[in-house]
Amino acid sequence: MAGVFASPFSPQATNSTQAITVNLAVTAGSARVAVLGANTASNQSLYTIRVSNIGTIPVFIEMGDSTITAATATGLCVRGSSDVNLQLPSGATHVAGIATTTGATIYCTPGSGAS
């Protein structure tokens, strides 16, 4: 399409103590991982999160604060062996994941672009 430009995804550390990429072992019980450092919570709308599912089973994710839980009925499905870029919602600092069985790992990388 003429006139439509998208910037590529660019990983970014969110503070000096947070790893750029964090991982979460996903099972049939909801678990969560911090994807942004606490000092960036007020600026999180600037971030895109790349969620990579390296397992072979679908994972259902939800984004929110440190109390977020994921459910298969309401979470966003990330197919096995795939990744997705998502704009981080206002107030969100964590990603929660759940699967119907065990055996998946997701990697979450904050950055900008490609959302």
**Domain CATH number, residue 58:** 2.60.120
User: β-strands 104-112, 10-11: how paired?
Assistant: antiparallel
Q: Is residue 42 included in any domain, yes or no?
A: yes
Residue 56 domain boundaries: 22-112
State how far the Cα of 40 lies from the Cα of 68, in Å rounded to an integer. 18
Cut 0.85: pTM above it: no
Walking along the chain (115 residues) 10 residues at a time, the average pLDDT comes out as 63 68 95 75 67 96 96 97 90 92 91 74
Say how many domains are in the chain: 1
User: What is the Cα–Cα distance from 5 to 74, expressed in whole angstroms?
Assistant: 32
Q: Give the model's pLDDT for residue 39.
A: 43
Per-residue pLDDT, 17 = 61
